[in-house]
Amino acid sequence: MNKLLKVLGILATVGIMLVILAGVVVTKTGSGDGCGPNWPLCHGQLFPSEPTFETVVEYTHRLVTGIVGIIVFVFTILAAAVYRKHKEVIFVAAAAIFFLLLQSTLGALAVVYGQSSAVMALHFGFSLLSYATLFILLLYVFHLSKDDRLPVGHFSPSVKYGALCLFIFSYIVVYLGALVTHTGSSMGCQGWPLCNGQLIPSDLSGQTVIQYLHRLAAFGLLLAFGWFMYKVRRDYRHNRLLYYTTVSMFWLLVAQIVSGAVVILSNLHLYATIFHAFFISLMFGFLSYIVLYAFRTA
């Protein structure tokens, strides 16, 4: 059963990542209306006839989401059943299903009724939470297959609440990034690292202010992660799990910022946009795990 759970967990976690990246492609190519205002059917059909490029992109996204959704349900239910004496496993499994349903429902409502950019930006955030909970559940399965308990960390309040603040801060940065995309503000700041050739743009309005706020928040998050990594390196380097995960998160954030710069400098190249979402998803998964690890007492 443990081997089956590991395989299902890997498929579910990788699958949700593919769903996220497919969603990025849908948004980037303007394929959100590729199936018309119909859901779950596409142009009123189960298999669309004479599909356009946008229809293929949107239909593929829906198909992958449906297949992955089934795998997620099977994995989470089995994991909760096998490790039912661990309340944290049940909580994370329930959260994974909740966020999957939430992001799917929001996506369906956007297709049928349309949504504002502010609401659509939440869709990416919920997708990220869905990935993070599945990633955590996968790690729990691997932990519990070797030991009958999850690792417990005894950390200072500054590390515990520092990790929690990073989690909240990261989600804000993610939301602002999604808002940049859904408001068409990706080129609100021409050039990088300067914005329209200025450190502080003279015209802070419209698309420019949205893009500029995202950049400022990302830079602030990098500084906050730098402080957290310094704190962990100084006081908890002996804790290999915390230390190496923190170092990995920091460099994933650096990679995410660099990919964001490439997005601008390449005039919104699709591959750069995909990697931009990929790096932040990985980092957010690790960070979510560390938050639960830091607050675990038994």
pLDDT in tens, 263-295: 999 988 889 999 999 999 999 999 999 999 999
- 26-35, 96-105, 132-141, 288-297: range with highest mean pLDDT: 132-141
**Range 68-87 average pLDDT:** 94
Rounded CA-CA distance 133/17 in Å is: 12
The band of 104, judged by pLDDT with boundaries at 50, 70 and 90, is: confident
Q: Where along the chain do its domains lie?
A: 1-150, 154-298
The encoded tokens of residue 127 equal: 């997708």
State residue 73's pLDDT score: 96
Average pLDDT, rounded, for the chain: 91
Judge whether residue 43 has pLDDT over 90.
Answer: no
Read off the pTM: 0.92
Distance CA 59, CA 92 (A): 30
- Any idea what DSSP says for residue 195? B
Euclidean distance between CA atoms 127 and 147, whole angstroms: 30
pLDDT greater than 80 at residue 226: yes
Judge whether residue 69 has pLDDT over 90: yes
Q: What is the pLDDT of residues 108-164, one digit of tens each?
A: 888 777 777 888 888 899 999 999 999 999 999 999 988 888 888 889 999 999 999
What tokens appear for 22 in the block?
């497919």
Q: Is the pLDDT of residue 47 over 90?
A: no
12: nearest Cα among 130, 103, 124, 99: 130
Maximum CA pair distance of the chain? 62
Residue 236 above 90 pLDDT?
A: yes
Tell me how far apart the alpha carbons of residues 20 and 213 are, in angstroms, rounded to a whole number.
23
89: tokens are 């496993």
Name the token pair of 167: 């989690």
Rounded-to-integer distance, Cα 245 and Cα 260, Å = 22
- Fill in the DSSP letter of residue 154: -
d(CA 239, CA 208): 43
Helix (H, G, I), strand (E, B) or coil at 284: helix
- For position 298, what pLDDT does the model report? 64
Q: What is the pLDDT of residue 101?
A: 92
Q: Which of 102-116, 205-219, 248-262, 265-279 has the lowest mean pLDDT?
A: 102-116
Report pLDDT for 275: 94
Structure confidence at residue 71 (pLDDT): 96
Residues annotated catalytic, as ranges: 58
Q: What is the mean pLDDT of residues 78-84?
A: 94
Q: What percent of the chain has a predicted confidence (pLDDT) above 90?
A: 65
Mean pLDDT, range 27-40, rounded to an integer: 84
Average pLDDT of the residues in 66-90: 94
Average pLDDT over residues 203-225: 93
* Of residues 4, 115, 106, 122, the one with CA closest to residue 65: 106
- Per DSSP, the residues of 197-238 read TBSS-S---HHHHHHHHHHHHHHHHHHHHHHHHHHHHHH-TT
Q: Give me the residues paired with residue 42 across strands.
A: 45
> How open is the CA angle 11-17-23, to the nearest 5 degrees?
130
Lowest mean pLDDT among 10-19, 21-30, 131-140: 21-30
Using the Cα atoms of residue 296, residue 88, residue 126 and residue 145 in order, give the sign of their dihedral: positive
pLDDT value, residue 141: 95
Q: How many helices (H) and strands (E) does the chain have?
A: 8, 0
Average pLDDT on 193-198 reads: 89
Per the CB < 8 A criterion, the answer to whether 123 and 178 are in contact is yes
